[in-house]
Amino acid sequence: MLELVPSDAPGWDALEVTCIDVGGSPDCLDPDEAAGQEVVLLDTAGGVKSRLAPATITAADVASAAAIELDPQAEQGWGS
């Protein structure tokens, strides 16, 4: 996240939207087109534009992935 830009901020109109979040289903640029670019997400409910930095990891960098459940007891040591 680079910046949150509210609708009353200077430059709101000039900040081009590349992705619109409509009911939890973003209508965005094709990931291949967006690679290496800043993305601007429009939250239509809150009237806020979110400037997102270019992705540092893309699908091309990941051979496989799986969801895992973390042990809450193991998380207690994080950050200490």
How far is 70 from 8, CA to CA, in rounded Å?
41
- Strand runs labelled E in the chain: 3-6, 19-22, 25-28, 39-43, 48-52
Domain assignment present for residue 9? The answer is yes
Q: Is residue 21 part of a domain?
A: yes
Q: Give the model's confidence band at 25: pLDDT under 50 very low, under 70 low, under 90 confident, else very high.
A: low
Question: Would you say residue 44 lies in a domain?
Answer: yes
Rg for the chain (alpha carbons), in Å? 17
Which residues, other chains included, contact 74 with Cβ-Cβ below 8 Å and sequence gap of 6+?
none
In this predicted structure, the answer to whether residue 79 has a pLDDT above a threshold of 60 is no
Number of domains the chain is built from: 1
For 49, the domain range is: 3-56
52 touches 43 (CB < 8 A):
no
User: Residue 70: pLDDT above 70?
Assistant: yes
29 located within any domain = yes
Residue 77 belongs to some domain of the structure = no
For residue 75, name the pLDDT band (cuts at 50, 70, 90): low
pLDDT > 80? residue 38: yes
* Residue 61 located in a structural domain: no
| 46 inside domain | yes
